[in-house]
Structure 1
Amino acid sequence: MRIALSSYRSKPHSGGQGIYVRHLSRELAALGHDVTVFSGPPYPELDDARLVAGRATDRATGPASRQTSSAKRAGATASIEPMSIEPTSIERASVEPPNPGRLRLEKLASLDLYNDDDPFRHPDPRELRDRIDVVEYAGMLSGSFPEPRTFGMRLAREMRSRSREFDVLHDNQTLAPGLLDIARGGLPVVTTIHHPISADRRLEIEAATNPWRKYTKWRWYSFVPMQARVARASSRIITVSETSRDDIVREFGVDPERISIIPVGVDVETFTPDAGVAKNAPGIAVETSAPGVDVETFWPDGSARHRVPGRLTTITSANVPLKGLSVLIDALAFLPQDAWRELVVVGTPNRAVETQLEALGLSPRVRFVSGISDDDLAGLLASAAVHVVPSLYEGFSLPAVEAMACGTPVVATRVGALPQLVHGTDGETSAVTGSAGRVPAAHGGSAGPRAHATGEADTSADADGSDAGILVEPGDAHALAGGIVSLLESEETRTRFGRVGRRRAVTTYSWRAVAEATAAVYTEEIARC
C-alpha cells in the first residue's frame, strides 16, 4: 500500500506522538508498504526500515543526537547519519530500505509558535505567508492552541493535488476539519486517538488554583470540541485500549463499531533486563532539584546488571497533573527513610514540584534527568528496584511496558489500560488479534477480584502468577506508598513480577504486530470506500 501517515507534531523527545510515528512507520515500511510521513514541527526522527532485518544497519534519519522514549528518545545507536533536507516550506527526504517499502518524511512548515527554545514567540510580519499563518498566530494571541486546526488546513491543501499518490491517510490525533475535507475528496482516512484530550482538560482545570488560571486552561483546550466533532464524523478510528475506546465513546460520542483497538508497541530488543550491561561510559549526568548536592552516576559499577537497591524510577514526559508526579512525591514522604534510596525522574521539574520537594525535605533524594538515549533509558529502567506509574489517567502507558520489558516490577494506578498491562490478559496471547486489530478486554478497569478499597494497595500476587506488579487507586498517596514498600521488602516478589512483565512485553506488545494489525485496518477501510 501507499500510506500517508500524518501527525500535527511529532516531538521525538517528549510525549508519545513522535515515538508512535517513528516505530509504526518503520514497521509498515519493513512490511513492504510505501510510507510518507507528513508532520508539522517538532518533526519526528525516522528509522531506516532495514533496522528490523539487522540492527547493525540501524540509521537514524534525524539529527545526530538521540533522546529518550518518554523524555527524549529517537534515533539509533549505530552509524547515525543526518537526513538531507531541501530548504522548502515542505521539505522532503527519503530512506530506501532494501525491500519494496519506502519511508520518507515531508515537513509541513508552520510558524512553530510553541518551540521549546522560544515558546509563544511573536513572528516577524514577513513570516505570515498566507491565511493559515494568520489563523495560527491569531489563535496563539487569543490564548488557544491552534496547531491541530492549522495543520489540518495545510495537510488538506497539500492533498488537493496529491491524494492520488496514496491509498490511505492515517492521521495521528490531529482530529481537524481538514481531515474530513480530505476524506470527502475520496482518500480513505483512518484516525488514531490515543485518548480523548478532554481528560487532560478536565484534570488541568480542576488543578488550577484560581479563576483566571481555570479560564486560561479552558481557553487553551478550546480545540477539544472541534476534535470531538471530527471524531464523530470519522469513519474509522484506532485507539490503544478498551478504556480509551470507552472514553472516546463517552466523551466524544463516537459509535463504538467504528473503533478498532490496537495497543502501542515496545522495542523489546533495546528494553531488556540486561540493558546497559556492556556500557563502559562513566555514567549520565543528572540534575537534582537541590543546589550543591553531589551527583553520582546511574551505574556505580558501569553496568545495570545489578539493580541498585532502593532505586525508584518514574517517567513524566509532560509535567502536568494528569501524570500524578505530585502524588508520587507525597507518597515518598510516607515511606520509611531506610526503605528506599532515591527516585530518578525522567523529565524536567517545574517550580511547583521543586517547591513540594523542598517542603518535604526530599530534594537530595529525587533526581531529574533528560536528554538520554533509548539505550540509556533502558539501562536506567533495568537498574531500578521498582518502576512507578502514578498517573491519574492513562490511555495506554508506554513507560509501564518498557519497564516490564526490562524485567522491572511496576507499581501503577488502576486507570486506563494499566490493569490490563500489569495483570495481563487470559492466556498470555497476542494483544493484537483479528482483522480490525482488536485487543482482549482488560480486567474490568477495576481489576476484577483484585480491586481493593481506596487507601489500600493491591499487594497480593494472584494464584496463577500473571501479575507484573501492583495496582493502587489513582490520587491515593498512602496506597501508592504501601505498594512501593511491599515490593521493596520482597526480593522474591520483585523477581517474579519482573519475569512475568518481561514475558508479557515480548509476547504481547511488539511493533511488528502493531503494524500488521494497523495495515489490516487500512485494507478494510480502503475496501469500504
Structure 2
Amino acid sequence: MQAESALTAAEPILADITPAIMPAEQRLPLKICLLGYRSQPYGGGQGIYIKYLSKALVEAGHQVDVMSGQPYPHVDPRVNLIKMPGMNLFETGLGSLTFSHLRSMTNIIEWTGKLTGGFVEPHCFGRRVFKHLKKHGRHYDIIHDNQCLSWGMLKLQKKGFPLVTTIHHPITSDLQIALNAATNWKARLLIKRWHSFLTMQKKVAKRLDNVVTVSERSQKDIASAFDLKPSDISLVYNGIDTEEFRPMPAVVKKPFRIMATASADAPLKGVRYLLEAVAELARQYPQLELLMVGQPQAGGATERLIKKLKLTDRIIFVSGISTKQLATHYAEAQVVVIPSVYEGFGLPAGEAMACGVPVVSTDGGALPEVVGDAGIIVPAKDSQAIAIAVAELLDNSDKRDAMSAAGRQRIEQLFCWTRAAQQMTDYYTQVLEGNTNHANG
C-alpha cells in the first residue's frame, strides 16, 4: 500500500465542504466560551473535544473559557475553567440530597429526574449556564455549546448571545441501537425513559441558528433525525493531537496484543462483536491478548459474555489513565480494533492512526471518513470479519508497517487540531458577520 493513496477517500469531501482558511494575521483574537455539561475526557468523545478544541483555539491566539458541569474537563493551563457544579448524582447517589439543595429549583429537577430514571443533566446545566451568562457573559464574542441542546441554549440565543452548537451525532442512533439490544420490555422502558431528553433536543435543534458537526455522516444523520436540511449544518472535522498521539519507536511491541477503546457496556460500541472475534482468534493464536480501555459494569452483559466465551485470562482492562499512558498502550499494540456499530467521528481510530498503529475498523457511522484506505474496514456487527482482518495483520508485518505509515500521514494532513481550530475560527467569523445563513426558525 502506498501512503499517498490513504488520502484519497477524504479529499473530495474536504474539497467540497472546507471553508477557505483565513490567514492568521487577518483574524482578530476572539473571546470564546465553550460549554460542556459533563466534560471529563474519560467519559467519552465530548470531553476529548472540549480538551483539544479549547487548547487549539488558545494556540490560534484566542482567549478561551470552558464552562463545565461535573465531572470537570482536563484543560490546558492557558484555558480558564469555570466550574458550574450540579448535584453530580451519578457519583454521589440519590442519598446526597440535603436541605440546602431544596433552595434551588434546578437541583430539585435534577434530583427528581434521576429518581425517575431520566437523564436531565443537559437541561439542568442549560438552566445554570443561562443564569450565569445572562449576568456575567456579555464580554464573550462567541458562546459555543457542546451538544447540550437544552432550553437554556435557546434562551441565550433569544437574548442575543452569538451561539454556536456542535452536535457530534444524533443520540437517536444510540437509542435505537440500545433498544435493539434490549432483552425484555422492562429494559426497553428504562432505555426510553433515560433517553427522554431527546424530545427537548429535537425541538431545540430545529430552532438553533448556527449548528456545526464533525463528519459528513453525522451531517446527514442529524438532518434526518432532527428534521433539518443538511445545508443548515456546517462541517468542521475533529482533530487529533499529533504531538501527544505519535509513534514511539522506543516502545517495544507486545506480540499478539490487540487493543480497543470503548465503553464496554454500551451496545453502540460493538464490544460484543469484538469479544466474539477474540474468542475465534484465540483458537489460531494461543498467545493472543486484548487490552481494553474501559471498565465493564460488574455483573453486566459484557462481563457475562467474557465468562461465557472463557476470555477472562485474555483481557486486560484499564481505565482512568493519562493521555501519555494511553499513547503508550497504543504503541505496545500490534493492532487496534474499532468495533463500533456507530460513531459520529471515531476519535480512537484517529488516535491509533496518529500513533502509527494499524487499525481494523467497522464501517459504522463516520468511521470510513476517518480511516479511509489507511486501515482495514469491515462491516459493522460482523465478528467473523473482524477476526479475519485482525489475523491478516497479525500474519503480515509488511502490511502492518505500510498501514502504520499511511495512517500517521492521513491524520497529520487531514485531521489535526490546528486545522480544526482554523476552520472553526472561520466559522465563528461567519457567524459574527451574519453570513452563515443557517437560521432554522
Q: TM-score under structure 2 normalisation? A: 0.88
The one of 80, 88, 93 equivalent to 1:104 is 80
Tell me if the contact between 2:281 and 2:288 (Cα under 8 Å) persists in the aligned partners.
no
Q: 2:421 aligns with which of 515, 521, 524?
A: 515
Separation in 1, partners of 2:233, 2:42 = 29
SS across alignment from 1:504: helix
Question: Which one is further off, 493-502 or 344-353?
Answer: 344-353
CA distance in 1, matches of 2:99, 2:188: 31
1:117-516 correspondence runs (5 A) = 118-274=92-248, 277=250, 304=251, 306-317=252-263, 319-335=265-281, 337-339=283-285, 341-350=288-297, 351=299, 352-423=301-372, 467-516=373-422
Report whether the alignment pairs 1:33 with 2:62. yes
Residues 356 and 404 in structure 2, CA contact (< 8 A), matched pair in contact too = yes
Question: What RMSD, in angstroms, separates the aligned Cα atoms of the two structures?
Answer: 1.5
CA–CA distance in 2 between the matches of 1:163 and 1:106?
12
Instruction: Please report how far the alpha carbon of residue 147 of structure 1 lies from its aligned counterpart in structure 2 after TM superposition.
Output: 0.6
Q: Aligned partner of 2:309: which letter?
A: L
Aligned-partner residue type, residue 184 of structure 1: K
How many angstroms apart in 2 are the aligned matches of 1:9 and 1:372?
Answer: 18
Cα pair 1:37 1:104 within 8 Å, conserved:
yes
Q: State the match for 1:457 in structure 2.
A: none
Structure 1 gaps, min length 5: 50-102, 278-303, 424-466
Superposed CA deviations along residues 250-304 of structure 1, whole A, max 9, x for unmatched, are: 11112222211111111111212216x3xxxxxxxxxxxxxxxxxxxxxxxxxx2
Native 8 Å contact 1:232 1:255 kept in 2: no
- Could you report, residue by residue, the CA deviation over 1:322-360 in whole angstroms, capped at 9, with x for unpaired residues? 001111101112225343520100110222222211211
Q: Which amino acid aligns with 1:161?
A: K
User: Which secondary structure does the structure 2 equivalent of 1:233 belong to?
Assistant: coil
SS in 1 for 2:328: helix
Matched with 1:448 is none
**For the residues of structure 2 that align with 1:375 and 1:252, how far apart are their CA atoms?**
38
Matching residue of 2:10:
none
CA distance in 1, matches of 2:150, 2:302: 34
Are the equivalent residues in 1 in contact too, given 2:162–2:432 (CA < 8 A)? yes
> Shift in Å at residue 171 of structure 1?
0.3
**CA contact 2:282–2:288 (8 Å) conserved in 1:** no
Partner residue of 2:53? 24
What secondary structure, in the 3-state scheme, does the structure 2 residue paired with 1:343 have? strand
Contact kept in structure 2, 1:271 and 1:405, CA below 8 Å: yes
Question: How far apart in 1 are the matches of 2:192 and 2:151?
Answer: 21
Q: Whole-Å Cα distance in 2 between the matches of residues 175 and 238 of structure 1?
A: 12
Select between 233-242 and 120-129 the one with higher mean Cα deviation. 120-129
Q: Which has the higher helix share?
A: 2
The answer to whether the 8 A contact 1:381-1:387 is kept is: yes
Find the aligned partners of 1:398 and 1:147 in 2 and give their Cα distance.
24
**Aligned counterparts of 2:312 and 2:421: Cα–Cα separation in 1:** 42
Cα contact 1:5–1:38 (8 A) shared by 2: yes
Q: Find the aligned partners of 1:265 and 1:243 in 2 and give their Cα distance.
A: 16
- Structure 1 residues 442-489: Cα deviation after superposition (integer angstroms, max 9, x where no partner): xxxxxxxxxxxxxxxxxxxxxxxxx22111111111111111111111
Match of 1:226, as an amino acid?
M
Q: Does 1:46 align with 2:22?
A: no
* Counterpart contact for 2:264–2:296, Cα < 8 Å: no
Q: Distance in 1 between matches of 2:393 and 2:54?
A: 38
Matched, 1:14 2:43: yes
Pick closer, same or farther for the CA change 1:318–1:128 going to 2, 3 Å. Answer: farther
* Cα deviations by residue, 1:141-162 (Å, 9 ceiling, x for unpaired): 2211111011111111112223
Distance 1:370 1:9 in 2: 18
Q: Quick one: which amino acid aligns to residue 293 of structure 2? A: V
Partners of 1:37 and 1:105 within 8 A in 2 = yes
Q: Is the 8 A contact 2:33 2:65 kept in 1?
A: yes
Preserved contact between residue 263 and residue 296 of structure 2 (Cα < 8 Å): no
Shift in alpha-carbon separation, 1:520–1:318, aligned structure 2, 3 A = farther
Helix, strand or coil: the match of 2:283? coil
Cα distance, 1:413 vs structure 2 = 0.5
- Give the equivalent residue in structure 2 for 1:77: none
Q: Tell me, which stretches of 5 or more residues in structure 2 are unaligned?
A: 1-29, 436-441
Quick one: which amino acid aligns to residue 183 of structure 1? Q
Deviations 1:361-407 (A, max 9, x none): 21111111112221111111111111000001101111001110111
For 2:162 and 2:146, the matched residues in 1 are separated by 14
Q: Which amino acid aligns with 1:335?
A: L
Distance 2:121 2:376 in 1: 38
- Say which structure, 1 or 2, has more relative contact order (CA 8 Å, 6+ apart): 2
Q: Per-residue CA shift, 1:225-255, capped at 9, x if unaligned?
A: 2111111111111111000111100111122
Aligned-residue identity in percent: 41
In structure 1, how many angstroms separate the alpha carbons of the residues matched to 2:388 and 2:313? 22
Measured at CA, do residues 121 and 327 of structure 1 come closer, stay the same or move farther in structure 2, by a change above 3 Å?
farther
Give the distance between the partners of 2:359 and 2:94, measured in 1 at CA: 37
Aligned residue identity for 1:521: Y
Aligned equivalents of 1:120 and 1:366: distance in 2? 33
Amino acid at match of 1:207: A
Does the 8 A contact of 2:38 with 2:69 survive in 1?
yes
Mapped partners of 1:121, 1:346: distance in 2: 30
The one-letter code matched in structure 2 to 1:143 is G
Distance 2:117 2:303 in 1: 26
Residues 241 and 416 in structure 1, CA contact (< 8 A), matched pair in contact too = no
The whole-number CA distance in structure 1 between the counterparts of 2:95 and 2:31 is: 37
Q: SS at the partner of 2:43? A: coil
Q: Note the C-alpha offset of 1:122.
A: 4.2
